[in-house]
Structure 1
Amino acid sequence: MMRDEPRGESGLLARMLPLLSTDDRIEVGPGDDAAVVRLPSPRMVVTTDTLVEGYDFLLPATTPLWIGHKAAVQNLADVAAMGARPIALVSALSAPGDTPAHVFEDLTRGLARRAEADGARVVGGDLGRADRLTLTVTALGALEEGAAPVLRSGARPGHVLAIGAPRLGRSAAGLALVLSGRIRVQDGRVHGAGDFADLVAWHDAPEPDLSLGWSVGRGASAMMDLSDGLVQDGMRIARASSVALDLEAGALAPDAAALQDLAGELGADPWAWVLHGGEEHAMLATFPAGAVPAGFRPIGRVGEAAQPLVTLDGERIGGRGFDHFDAPA
């Protein structure tokens, strides 16, 4: 799976390979120069994403196991949002030379476990040295023959905007706790968060139902995973489809209410977490009226507009979602 072993640890590869599993789709798995994967159709879906220490996670407030889990989720979500089934992941992990071996093992374990939960396998990768811990993952998926990919450009006036999650804003609320400096994570347990430890865990290792993408989500007119905030990602659908999205405050009010107590403690606005919080990775989709499937809940409507926009009960929305190039170092 990995070639350049840090600090000359010749036993690291042997310790990591048993953490991975294969199935009959994997003709050649980890341990060779490249993997050989049997696709169920010739229509491959591919995506990649990177997590960087200090930008995408803070080690005192997460665990290597959760970092691997999150890297799997954010890549598998992109495959699922196209209506495809995930098949395989490859990873490139770079770290400082004095990084303990258990960090690499736990990252691999977290990546593999979450991938396997969605029917995919880690089939290879690379290991290298860097100034900070960095994990890049590429995910492969397959579309069934005759199945059209679900794009962002299919939303039409009269359709319903829906989200494949019971609540929004949880990851942003967990991040707010992390940035408050009051929590630490040790041995997979969140300390200092009181009744809100589950929000930190959700931010560090989200558990969206990605199967909605390749199952009932295939009936969506447009779909993407919620990565950078409801308003910002909604605007991406609006632009691609040349429509307006109007969010319904009544549909989102329970989401904000569920976060009100923590927001009060931190002096924050729970609506900002719901509207602009990223890293939920739930399926955000539009469906014809009356055709929203189980697993999704309606949160807005698609309408006509002279220019693409996203509103809340017809009013423009202040604030913005996540942007990598606005993030502090």
Structure 2
Amino acid sequence: MTGDTHLGEAGLLARMLPHLSSDPRVEVGPGDDAAVVRLPTPRVVVTTDTLVQGHDFLAHTTTARWIGHKAAVQNLADVAAMGARPVALVVALSAPADTPSRVFEELTIGIAHRAQADGAQVVGGDLGQAEQLALTVTALGALEEGQEPVLRSGAHPGDVLTIGSPRLGRSAAGLALVLSGRVRVQDGAVDGAGGHGDLVTWHDAPDPDLALGWTVGRTASAMMDLSDGLVRDGGRIARASGVRLDLDPAALGPDAQQLAVVAAEVGADPWDWVLHGGEEHAMLATFPAGSVPAGFRPIGRVLPGVGEKEHSVLLGGAEIAGTGFDHFGPSA
């Protein structure tokens, strides 16, 4: 992207703020020392996350708008996974001094549009200089009075394990294409993906139905968003609930099959993407048998735990190799 790199903070804000819409809940928005937001209830849900260039994205394989979109999604998903409705986002953006002003504007558009799609507003933040682009988003949500948050610890033996997405593994497949070194993205067009540009787009700007979290997902016995892989995140539910999860190979088989062609092209196993691929941000939830709502599909079952420390995730009753993504593990 090209653009003026010498506008200064005031000039950059002048280009960014028009993309933030107004909302009667925001009494004081961007432009003052802090925002003032009227929450629908006094029960606030708060989360934060960061995207860093070179670690979480490669500049030549994505766009500024997609980076903003993804930053919004990963935080909105955490709020939704608690059964809460998103209300507001605060954004801290740091970038090198020579970053074109258009990048700041596109980042703002990406964050604001995705937040607005889920009923939330960007209400403020911070601009700073850094050696590389970094974007930190803090999301605020609200739980209704009398509504219990949906935790990871509520799964019971006999429950059904579900996912609020029609397909899994897409983000991991897109990442594999990005890491293949042949993909470039310019002006939103994906080159070098061999007809699989939709997978790169899904990795760069995942678009799960987060509203499932604060609508029908509120009836789940346990829930979290799928950020680090089905096995790793499923293991978190299993440990918190003192149970085991048994994934259904027949239910997940079509997910792997739909990725078989691109997996063969990059020398990967599509089952690795389905089982261990992260950054989907769909709602992973358990429901009592017979009560799975529309929007969620069954992918397994909840079994009793075995002993105090045996809270594993199985596939058709068998152990699963691999661990999923860990920021400070060998795969990071």
Shorter chain as denominator, the TM-score bin is: over 0.9
Corresponding residue number in structure 1 for 2:234: 234
In the alignment, structure 2 segments of 5+ residues that lack a partner are none
- Counterpart of 1:309, as a letter, is S
Superposed CA deviations along residues 36-87 of structure 1, whole A, max 9, x for unmatched, are 0000000000000000000000000000000000000000000000000000
Corresponding residue number in structure 2 for 1:316: 319
Other structure's SS at 1:113 match = helix
Corresponding residue number in structure 1 for 2:156: 156
For 2:145 and 2:330, locate their aligned partners in 1 and report how far apart those are by CA, in whole Å. Answer: 41
Other structure's SS at 1:280 match = coil
- What are the within-5 Å matches in structure 2 for residues 247-258 of structure 1? 247-258=247-258
For 1:83 and 1:154, locate their aligned partners in 2 and report how far apart those are by CA, in whole Å. Answer: 13
1:299 aligns with 2:302: no
- Counterpart of 1:271, as a letter, is W
Corresponding residue number in structure 2 for 1:136: 136
Corresponding residue number in structure 2 for 1:208: 208
1:326 deviates by 3.0
1:194 deviates by 2.5
1:56 aligns with 2:59: no
In the alignment, structure 1 segments of 5+ residues that lack a partner are none
Distance 1:288-1:322 versus aligned 2 partners, 3 A rule: same
Superposed CA deviations along residues 133-190 of structure 1, whole A, max 9, x for unmatched, are 0000000000001110000000000000000000000000000000001110000111
TM superposition score normalised by structure 1: 0.97
Superposed CA deviations along residues 78-136 of structure 1, whole A, max 9, x for unmatched, are 00000000000000000111111111111011000000000000000000011110000
Other structure's SS at 1:54 match = coil
1:6 deviates by 7.6
For 2:47 and 2:10, locate their aligned partners in 1 and report how far apart those are by CA, in whole Å. Answer: 31
1:104 aligns with 2:107: no
For 1:135 and 1:303, locate their aligned partners in 2 and report how far apart those are by CA, in whole Å. Answer: 40
- Counterpart of 2:149, as a letter, is P
For 1:11 and 1:125, locate their aligned partners in 2 and report how far apart those are by CA, in whole Å. Answer: 16
For 1:26 and 1:259, locate their aligned partners in 2 and report how far apart those are by CA, in whole Å. Answer: 44
Corresponding residue number in structure 1 for 2:274: 274
* Kept after mapping to 2: 8 A contact 1:55/1:327: no
- Counterpart of 2:174, as a letter, is G
Corresponding residue number in structure 1 for 2:40: 40
Other structure's SS at 2:328 match = helix
Corresponding residue number in structure 2 for 1:288: 288
For 1:8 and 1:114, locate their aligned partners in 2 and report how far apart those are by CA, in whole Å. Answer: 26
- Counterpart of 2:263, as a letter, is A
TM superposition score normalised by structure 2: 0.96
For 2:272 and 2:188, locate their aligned partners in 1 and report how far apart those are by CA, in whole Å. Answer: 28
1:192 deviates by 1.0
- Counterpart of 2:316, as a letter, is D
1:305 deviates by 1.9
For 2:16 and 2:10, locate their aligned partners in 1 and report how far apart those are by CA, in whole Å. Answer: 11
Other structure's SS at 1:23 match = coil
For 1:120 and 1:327, locate their aligned partners in 2 and report how far apart those are by CA, in whole Å. Answer: 36
1:328 deviates by 6.8
For 1:212 and 1:36, locate their aligned partners in 2 and report how far apart those are by CA, in whole Å. Answer: 28
- Counterpart of 1:237, as a letter, is I
Identity of aligned residues (%): 75
* Kept after mapping to 2: 8 A contact 1:7/1:98: no
CA RMSD between the two structures: 1.2
Other structure's SS at 1:195 match = coil
Distance 1:6-1:275 versus aligned 2 partners, 3 A rule: farther
For 2:92 and 2:115, locate their aligned partners in 1 and report how far apart those are by CA, in whole Å. Answer: 15
